[in-house]
Structure 1
């Protein structure tokens, strides 16, 4: 028994010795790891330094090689020469491009002026609408200073223009079927008073007995032109005196120049004008060959639409580069229910 116990003791002591040796070996291994890591870092630094130095030397080698190569022998094979004509730009190409650009700009301007813009630029616009009849085009002229412009010899061409317009309206036919003319425009200051005054002059100078009824409220340019009063109301008494021919009583409402008679607008009261106006127009129709009525602009008033039932013919004044296509078409659509066309006069003045 003692022997067995002794053997077991020896075995345990031997195992203990082995374990102690393994522990010491492990400790030594663990203690040596930091030293190896430091060694690895040092080796990595040396490697990086060596690689960087190698790249630098390689670069210097290439630069030195290129420097030696630039020193090679060179010579001019052909001397420099100048052509007799410019190489670029080609003149024909430049001319062709300029020509095409000029055509494109011209086409764009024409298309914009005639079709895109809302303003009347030329008589070409009226040729596209069969219901708009252009009777004449009054060309621009020097500023007129005389009160009775077209009576002057120096404005004979203007007089002939208005005579042509009167002829187109049928006023020089043997039997005048339509002797009451309404003149209006879309906006003020488009020349309806100018056209009415000079058209009446042309007719009066041709021997026609003409009356102008100024209903252009609130401008009254015809009345102002002849310095007629426009503030008093045209009442029933005035109408009776007017119809009975008592000119002295209503001298303020009538002025005679040759065969031309102008009645200013004194119909300021709506109720009275509705009753008086038809009688005045009827009276003028019996006493005069032609009656010209000037109505307010269609944009500002419905007078032209109301007066449509009292007249036989209508003349719409259009001012070049100012009048609106929309305004013409609006008036045309409202009054062309009974008639086939609207008479237009294109004014440049």
Structure 2
């Protein structure tokens, strides 16, 4: 039965400590909420600024303006479409673009003004002054604490807790600070109304090194795809000043477009440069051919072709046209092949120069796109970067592919040219009558036509490249200009207050849990019931300071009611006898309230119908005299034990609190208490009063400290074993269990003393309905806080 009780889990008992301390939770939540509100007041508002841009399709842009194409169609590079948009995201967050934006906005410094419990950041029209960084000094980090600026007339005073002295300065003059040389000027755009009642002459300045500022903004900047399949990028950043954050995002998009246009123009510039170089060469070659033609005609006196030769030549015009086209293509493709072999991976190839090789032209566009992306990557990475290495490998593969395509095309052109020349040779055999000089003349003329067509083609392509540069469009189209979201990043009032409430609930809960977990003392009858099968007769309430600690006549207090319950319960343990009922009141150690129980039990039992005798048997440490100080040296039990012949009237004293109760005090403290208690006189004393009193209550010695009680324990009818709430150790219950099991004590019942109202076991509440006035919750809270 005892073991089964140990295993029971009483949910009510588990949550009872928390419910009983409800006011702890209320007070803790109130305090933490106030802390939360205070914290909210000390935190400056932080806004979330957002912008979105559409990255235009690179393939579409290249087809319209002659720019680079995408690499998706090239074998083995089909995944570059996804990587492309990821690359744009990285470019937005790159140090180069962020650095340019910070230089443009001068964001190394921030100005603040005191506003309530926090500082308000100033920017543009709300800032009375501007701080311009002339040059940075080589320092590991800027000042840790804000610099105070006091504006006075045409000057100002700078001070900091990190400096030994103040620095005075004038507007528009360089100031030598420990971390940088700066110039402070008045802001012509300042609007005093923006600061309203704030102290605009007392400002705070924060400074960061440029590198640290770049790192901070890179970390704060969020760049994400809006949707996986879309090319819309969302930009966001948190800032204490809305306008400052908006300007940063808008300038970020501007700088991105600036770099994109700059990169795109590089292709057109390279193409124009290549065409210009070729025009110079072709122009010279064309001049040489014309000079040769003029010289040949002069030497051979050639004025006009013979009609016969012209008729024969007309029949072969188709062949000549074919040879002309083939020669042009052969020359162009040889030029492009030589250019390809002489350039490294960082250079783009000329495009749209008129070659009739679709595969090669397409591959060149894709090759140029990858070259530009590789060069962009090298701005923020080293050649050893895995992405750069992968691009190098792809470029080499593409370069080889283009070379093979051109070589095959040249071979095919040569074969076609040879066939055409053979066909022309056959025709010329038929016109053998044409003079040899006419053949030479036609050859010279053919060379002239070839150079002229090539020259005109290059002029056309130069114009196209120039037009391409002139109409270059921005790569990122703004979908939404920067704007501030209504929801603040900080302080998050609801979250902070929720956390404050949770902490407020958690602190007392953890304290109560740990206190309960680490508690080794008896709290109420439930603890005793878990440790012992001995019945608990009553729980006695805690006596507040100033309240009576003894039961009065006609007393209706909770204490008096508790002792009435004790009387009712211990009567079930009493044996049936006509003589006096002998009650022992004992405890494990001193300080558990056995004397308190003895006195109040005696006063409660004593009525006109029941005479009660209270005997102080704790002769080593007498405590009964505490309730009657004038009897401190009165004769008592030890005097009778020494001399049984003593007059009983000398040791019996009537209680001043109740005429039906007599008291025998402990008497003089003896040197040999064990001998006195075992000499047989104690039994004689009980026999004397056996029929004179209805109840004899004996306040015995603590049973663990001395064996006195066990010397006469056989005379008891009932033993009231007192344990004190929050004092008696749980281990002591095992000691009492052993005494009961060994039958050294009989008819034992526990009395739980000094139990606070919050700790009573289920069902034990005293005073309700007996002239006890129940307080409302506000009165109870006041009594909890101010008792």
Which ranges in structure 2 are unaligned for 5 or more consecutive residues?
1-94, 101-254, 262-475, 756-787
* Structure 1 counterpart of 2:194: none
1:221 aligns with 2:640: no
Quote the Cα distance in structure 2 between the aligned partners of 1:341 and 1:310.
Answer: 12
> Match for residue 304 of structure 1?
709
> Relative to 1, partners in 2 of residues 1:240 and 1:314: Cα closer, same or farther, differing over 3 Å?
same
Counterpart in the other structure of 2:595: 193
Whole-Å separation in 1 of the counterparts to 2:696 and 2:634: 23
Structure 1 221/139 Cα, relative in aligned 2: closer, same or farther at 3 Å?
A: same
**Structure 1 position 202, deviation (Å):** 0.4
Give, in whole Å, the separation in 1 of the partners of 2:511 and 2:545: 33
1:228 is displaced (CA, Å) by 2.8
- CA deviation digits over 1:88-143, x for unaligned, max 9? 97969996997699589848845862x65221122221232452311111112334
Q: In the alignment, is residue 162 of structure 1 matched against residue 563 of structure 2?
A: yes
CA distance in 2, matches of 1:335, 1:174: 17
Whether the 8 Å contact between 1:336 and 1:342 is mirrored in structure 2 is no
- CA deviation profile, 1:185-228 (whole Å, cap 9, x unmatched): 12212211111000000000363211111111333111342243
1:80 equivalenced with 2:475 (yes/no) = no
Is the contact made by 2:589 and 2:702 (CA closer than 8 Å) also made in structure 1? yes
Paired residue for 2:678? 274
Partner Cα distance (1:261, 1:336) in 2: 34
Structure-2 separation of matches of 1:93 and 1:224:
56
Are 1:254 and 2:652 counterparts? yes
Contact 2:653 2:664 in 1 (8 A): yes
Q: Deviation string for 1:268-294 (max 9, x for gaps)?
A: 343343121121122233322111111
Asked whether the equivalents of residues 171 and 179 of structure 1 are also in contact (C-alpha less than 8 Å), the reply is: no
* Paired residue secondary structure (1:119): coil
Preserved CA contact (<8 Å) 1:235 1:272: no
- For residues 49-84 of structure 1, give each alpha carbon's deviation from its aligned partner in whole angstroms, at most 9, with x where no partner exists: xxxxxxxxxxxxxx99xx999752667542334155
Task: Supply the distance in 2 between the matched residues of 1:272 and 1:174 (Cα, whole angstroms).
Answer: 28
Is the contact between residue 722 and residue 752 of structure 2 (CA under 8 Å) also seen in structure 1? yes
CA distance in 2, matches of 1:131, 1:213: 29
- DSSP 3-state at the match of 1:132: coil
- Seen in structure 2, the aligned counterparts of structure 1 residues 341 and 107 have a Cα distance that, compared at 3 Å, is farther
The answer to whether the Cα contact below 8 Å between 1:190 and 1:318 also exists between their aligned partners in 2 is yes
Q: What is the aligned partner in structure 2 of residue 286 from structure 1? A: 691
The residue number in structure 1 matching 2:738 is 333
TM-score by length of 2: 0.31
Kindly tell me: are residues 235 and 261 of structure 1, through their superposed partners in 2, closer, same or farther at Cα, counting changes over 3 Å? closer
CA distance in 1, matches of 2:687, 2:569: 24
1:263: Cα distance to partner?
1.2
Alignment partner, residue 150 of structure 1:
551
CA offsets, 1:323-346, max 9 Å, x none?
A: 111122212212333378731111
Q: In 2, distance between residues paired with 1:93 and 1:238?
A: 78
Structure 2 equivalent of residue 344 of structure 1:
750
Q: Determine if contact 2:624/2:666 at 8 Å carries over to the other structure.
A: no
Residues 575, 717 of structure 2: 8 Å contact kept: no
Alpha carbons of 1:173 and 1:181: their partners in 2 closer, same or farther (altered >3 Å)?
closer
CA RMSD of aligned residues (A): 4.2
Following TM superposition, by how much is the alpha carbon of 1:173 offset from its aligned partner in structure 2, in angstroms?
8.4
**Structure 1 unmatched runs, 5+:** 1-62
Query: How many pairs align?
Result: 277
Q: Structure 1's 139 and 277: CA in aligned 2 closer, same or farther, altered over 3 A?
A: same
Give the Cα separation in 2 of the matches to 1:204 and 1:172. Answer: 19
| 1:324 alignment partner, SS class | coil
What is the TM-score when the length of structure 1 is the normalising length?
A: 0.64
What pairs with 1:45-194 in structure 2 (closer than 5 Å)? Answer: 71-72=258-259, 76-78=478-480, 79-84=482-487, 106=509, 109-110=512-513, 113=516, 116-129=518-531, 131-143=533-545, 149-151=550-552, 156-170=557-571, 179-194=581-596
SS of structure 2 residue aligned to 1:343: strand
